[in-house]
Amino acid sequence: MHFAPVLRSEALKVLTLRSLCGTLLAVFACTTAFSALAGVSDTSDPDFDPLFMALSGVMPGQIAAIAFGAMVVSAEYQGNGIRLSLAAVPQRGRWFAAKLVVVAAPALVVGLLTSFAALVAARAGLGAAADGLTVGEQVRGVVGCGIYFMLMALLAAGLTALFRSGVATLSTLIPFILIIAFVIGDAAGGATEFLPDQAGQVVIHQTHDGILGPWTGLAVTAAWAGAAVAAGAWRLRGRDA
């Protein structure tokens, strides 16, 4: 079977499941709402970063992006749906590639729209405190934030294929990104900078300290996502449906 009809069928699955569309809506709603709230916060802190403050809604919003990536894949393992999918598309690599595309494309598009809306909403509250942001910094924040959402969704999709369970992915990945960096921060020193969330979020800071820059940080997150996808593909190829 050619790739185009496989991709079309996988896209239809996403469009026809309300829960998946709902998670994408949650990415937009959570990120924009929390960024708008951050926009009316105190700006007198000497370490105040207007770009990070304007896009700080990415932290709760990424949970919805992770849930989207996990649910797109985990839906196949409910009721042995994976058997029907692989019977229709015996080329497992082609099927998995199509699945990843329908995770990445919507996550990127929604991520870009979300980050732009969040920036506009937060800037309205920040007022003069955000006047120091250049056009280039704002474009970098919006584009980088959209890419970050996509990479986190792909990371979740790869882990779900590896674990064959969305619940296992969410119960592993969400505590990992919310807790681990704070728990091991002092003991690990600069190593936490290379965690997927910490590295990727450098792109939404106006200024940054440390080894990684905005785009190298996203490259580290991409490496995490790539490793998860590769592990998921290996599990898919090596185990019976």
| Tokens coding 228 | 């998860």
Q: Per residue in 10-60, pLDDT tens?
A: 899 888 888 899 999 999 999 999 999 887 776 656 578 889 999 999 999
Q: Which residue range(s) make up the domain with 148?
A: 3-238
Q: Are 8 and 102 in contact (CB under 8 A)?
A: no
Q: Per residue in 168-219, pLDDT tens?
A: 999 999 988 888 776 765 555 567 888 999 999 999 998 888 889 999 999 9
- Distance of alpha carbon 111 from alpha carbon 147, whole angstroms: 7
For 48, list phi and psi in degrees, rounded to 5.
-60, 130
**96 falls in which pLDDT band (50, 70, 90)?**
very high
Task: State the total domains in the chain.
Answer: 1
Q: Per residue in 101-127, pLDDT tens?
A: 999 999 999 999 999 999 999 988 887
Q: What is the dihedral of CA 61, 100, 218, 64, to 10 degrees?
A: 10
**226 falls in which pLDDT band (50, 70, 90)?**
very high
Count CB-CB contacts under 10 A for residue 181.
Answer: 17
Report pTM: 0.93
Q: Are 113 and 145 in contact (CB under 8 A)?
A: no
